[in-house]
Amino acid sequence: MSSSDKTSSSAVNGNESSVKRDTASPLFGQRILQHFEFDPGHRNLNHGSFGASPRAIRKKLREYQDLAEAKPDQFIRYDTPDILNECREATAKLLNVPTETVVFVVNATTGVNTILRNIAWNDDCKDEIIYFKTIYGACGKTVDYIVDSGLGRVSARAIQIDYPQEDEEIVTTLKNTIEDCVKDGKRARICIFDIVSSLPAVRFPFEEVTKLCKEKGVLSLIDGAQGIGMIDLDLRALDPDFFVSNFHKWFYVPRSCALLYVPVRNQALIRSTIPTSHGYISNSGERFNPLPKKNESPFVNNFQFVGSTDSAAYLCVKDAIEWREQVLGGEARILEYIHALAKDGGKKAAQVLGTEVLDNKSGTMSRCATTNVALPLEVEEASQASDWMMETMMSEYGTFIPLFIHNGRPWARISAQVYLDIDDFEWAGRTLLELCTRVKRGEYKEA
């Protein structure tokens, strides 16, 4: 039996060495697993992809679904709007913004699509979408679609990032790119950037970039898919033009639920949901809306009902906020733990592998709950073997860790969460080292 086969007992039963912040705080680490529904043979080291929801919140999800089944018209037409308003109010308080600026969509990609597909591109064909090459793949393809279908009215300009880079280098590069747009007779219309990028999973200088966009008259679209629940956010102070973030990743709301923030000044730009539904108001006049409960805000009303979808996850937002406060001690305690675990755990995994963590000299890239650890493999063999490695993780080791190539080097991305501790990162390092040894023996070629 490999060392990696010892997954279930320590992961489920916990151990007494789990981190305790102080006598008044909850006990984080493996004991928190009792609140989740992971398979006993699975160690969840990839929270950043699909998230996970505690049993108590999933129970609330089923209660809302049962209410919709018991009295469909009563619950969907009359009760759901009120619960949605409670969840929007709780979200607005969490992010320090007015309630009328917050609505829900199924995921961050839908939010990005909603924004880009609503913008009216100028007929002078000078508009450009600025983005960074670390953009999430689906959002990058959305940019491609907007350009491809825009009949030449909009183009896109990508900014290369080769981490590790200092924040000021990224901001300077964006400033130069906006100036290059002007020199080329173009107009930087909107800039898309992350809070924490996907691959590599590092904190982006979103505060400084938002400020620069405002100074240059460029709309800022923040893809905070990995944002709420992982980073301390004050949207009133940040003041972006558009912001999306998944509740179902780091905030423990069941899939699929994301917030879309649009300040009042920009709400007239977002005329339709995706798909267009009953809240849309045409230039030619408003059609009949069969839903009785309408919000005073046309923007909020637009997103209140988008077809007959299961919106039960949206209704769990207030429950997740309450659970994180009552069970885990609140946002500050959660962020303190997962940030420290990502930093210390990354170092531990890198020590086992004999490599290093991806970070810049100032340490700003690692100020989040994910870490990127270099693999002791050549780029060519890592490229050829990565699919085999990830499939083997699932079939033989009971885990999944995303692998990728960045700046000419192979990396592994590991997520820190309240139900993990330093032992999990050491185990991850041993598992990755064992897989790398098997790659060097050529096992992937035999698969």
Which residues, 6 or more positions from 283, have their beta carbon under 8 angstroms from its beta carbon? none
User: Is the same domain home to 431 and 397?
Assistant: yes
Q: What is the pLDDT of residue 95?
A: 98
Whether 61 is in a domain gets the answer no
3-state SS string for the chain: CCHHHCHHHHHHHCCCCCCECCCCCCECCHHHHHHCCCCCCCECCCHHHHCCCCHHHHHHHHHHHHHHHHCHHHHHHHHHHHHHHHHHHHHHHHHCCCHHHEEEECCHHHHHHHHHHHCCCCCCCCEEEEEECCCCHHHHHHHHHHHHCCCCCEEEEEECCCCCCCHHHHHHHHHHHHHHHHHCCCEEEEEEEECECCCCCCECCHHHHHHHHHHHCCEEEEECCCCECCECCCHHHHCCCEEEEEHHHHCCCCCCCEEEECCHHHHHHCCCCCCCCCCCCECCECCCCCCCCCCCCHHHHHHHCCCCCCCHHHHCHHHHHHHHHHCCCCHHHHHHHHHHHHHHHHHHHHHHHCCCECCCCCCCCCCCCEEEEECCCCHHHHHHHHHHHHHHHHHHHCECCCEEEECCEEEEEEECCCCCCHHHHHHHHHHHHHHHHHHHCCHHHHC
In a domain, 172, yes or no: yes
Check whether residue 27 and residue 73 sit in a common domain.
no
pLDDT digits (tens, 9 = 90+) for 348-378: 999 999 999 999 999 999 999 999 999 999 9
Residue 60 within any structural domain of the chain: no
Tell me what pLDDT residue 25 has.
41
Residue 32 forms part of a structural domain: yes
Phi, psi of 226 (to 5 degrees): -105, 85
Is residue 79 located within the same domain as residue 226?
Answer: yes
Q: Are residues 42 and 71 in the same domain?
A: no
Please count the structural domains in the chain: 2
Placement of tokens 């901001």 in the chain = 171
In a domain, 157, yes or no: yes
Cα of first residue to Cα of last residue in the chain, in angstroms, is 20
Token pair belonging to 420: 């993990």
CATH of the domain at 384: 3.90.1150.10
Which residue bears the tokens 């993990």? 420
Residues 70 and 50 placed together within one structural domain of the fold:
no
Statement to judge: residues 256 and 369 lie in one domain: no
Domain-located, residue 321: no
Per-residue pLDDT of the chain (447 residues; tens, 9 = 90+): 343 343 333 333 333 333 333 333 457 998 999 999 999 999 999 999 999 999 999 999 999 999 999 999 999 999 999 999 999 999 999 999 999 999 999 999 999 999 999 999 999 999 999 999 999 999 999 999 999 999 899 999 999 999 999 999 999 999 999 999 999 999 999 999 999 999 999 999 999 999 999 999 999 999 999 999 999 999 999 999 999 999 999 999 999 999 999 999 999 999 999 999 999 999 988 888 888 888 889 999 999 999 999 999 999 999 999 999 999 999 999 999 999 999 999 999 999 999 999 999 999 999 999 999 999 999 999 999 999 999 999 999 999 999 999 999 999 999 999 999 999 999 999 999 999 999 999 999 987
Domain limits for position 50: 3-54+327-446
Please check whether residues 243 and 390 belong to one and the same domain. Answer: no
Q: Give me the pLDDT at residue 296, please.
A: 85
In the listed set 286, 316, 346, which residue is the last one of a domain according to the structure? 316
Q: Are residues 127 and 94 in the same domain?
A: yes
Does residue 182 share a domain with residue 114?
yes
Question: How far is the C-alpha of 25 from the C-alpha of 265, rounded, in Å?
Answer: 41
The residue among 316, 341, 362 that closes a domain is 316
Q: pLDDT value at position 407?
A: 95
Same domain for 145 and 273?
yes
Cα-based distances in Å from 190 to 46, 174, 178, 214, 305: 31, 12, 10, 11, 28
Measured on CA atoms in the order 414, 417, 421, 423, is the torsion positive or negative?
Answer: negative
Do 134 and 38 share a structural domain?
no
Of the residues 282, 316, 350, the one at which a domain ends:
316
Question: What's the CATH code of the domain at 212?
Answer: 3.40.640.10
